[in-house]
Amino acid sequence: MRIYATYNIKGGVGKTTAAVNLAHLSAADGYRTLLWDLDPQGAASFLFRIKPRVKGGGKALIRGTKALDDAIKGTDFENLDLLPADFTYRNMDLLLGDANKKPTRKLAQLLRPLAAEYDHVFLDCPPSISLVSENVMHAADVLLVPLIPTTLSVRTLDQLTEFVGDFTGRRPQIRAFFSMVDRRKRLHQDITAKLSAERSGVAATPIPALSLIERMSVERAPVTAFAPRSQAARAFRALWAELNSDDEKPAGTAAAGS
């Protein structure tokens, strides 16, 4: 089981969009795939038309009174299941903090029993630096970091790389990709081209800013499903091909350069 987590400290950078489309592409490739919508806003759940509700809430999941397995819902797509969001996830930091041992590794521990059932798990994380995000970083094999091509975003990537670099033992691979890229903006073009070429952990495929991607919330489906031949879907497919070809690389090393 390979765990991907879409993460960025900032909101509105395309984490959920990426998680939903990449999970859909993974499932379409025949991998048994689970997407866990960890964001209490429940955007990924909404996009799959699944109610953002877990019986017993985040507390039951974290304390283990409800197995993750029991909360999973089938999506409309073959091989793709979803663990829905719940509004109580907003308190997940506190719940994780209550864990007696290794509070930063609780999510990894909860996900372990799913290894026989799924090939890929995608974690769609809320934007923050918190115990939740630290848990996600310890659980993930690959941190997928969407970056809007601005100087500040690049600084965020540096900070994240440094933070993960301080982990003892197992460390996730960091794979950044440019998101919401506006080709009409010179700055976007420059930063995208420069970083993709210079930094090994940055994917070559950018995800463009397209209104069709915004339409996902109207269609309530991945763009790769409702417009599979669109430019947006092609971009996600190319990104997925890049990421999936990394699978043979050993996990647990910080791949991004300094």
Question: Interface with other proteins by CB under 8 A: which residues?
Answer: 48-51, 71-74, 76, 78, 81, 220
Dihedral sign computed on CA atoms, order 137, 68, 54, 76? positive
Q: Which is nearer to other proteins, 64 or 74 (CB)?
A: 74
Q: Which is nearer to other proteins, 28 or 123 (CB)?
A: 28
Q: Which is nearer to other proteins, 73 or 185 (CB)?
A: 73
Region at 54 (left for phi over 0; alpha for psi -120 to 50; beta for the rest): beta
Provide the token pair at 37: 């919508």
Dihedral sign computed on CA atoms, order 159, 5, 254, 95? positive
- Residue 222, judged by CB atoms within 10 A of its CB (0-12, 13-18, 19+), counts as buried
Total Cβ atoms within 10 A of residue 204: 13
Q: Which is nearer to other proteins, 50 or 145 (CB)?
A: 50
State the pairing for strand pair 173-178/80-83.
Answer: unpaired
Q: Which is nearer to other proteins, 73 or 90 (CB)?
A: 73
**By C-alpha distance, which of 20, 38, 121 is closest to 87?**
38
Q: Which is nearer to other proteins, 74 or 165 (CB)?
A: 74
Gyration radius (Cα) of the chain, Å = 17
- Nearest distance, CB of residue 43 and other proteins, angstroms: 15
State how far the Cα of 63 lies from the Cα of 47, in Å rounded to an integer. 28
State how far the Cα of 163 lies from the Cα of 206, in Å rounded to an integer. 24
- Nearest distance, CB of residue 169 and other proteins, angstroms: 34
State how far the Cα of 133 lies from the Cα of 143, in Å rounded to an integer. 11
- Nearest distance, CB of residue 200 and other proteins, angstroms: 38
Q: Which is nearer to other proteins, 124 or 141 (CB)?
A: 124
- Nearest distance, CB of residue 245 and other proteins, angstroms: 24
Total Cβ atoms within 10 A of residue 135: 28
State how far the Cα of 231 lies from the Cα of 241, in Å rounded to an integer. 15
- Nearest distance, CB of residue 78 and other proteins, angstroms: 5
Containing 36, the helix (H) or strand (E) segment is: strand 33-37
- Nearest distance, CB of residue 120 and other proteins, angstroms: 17
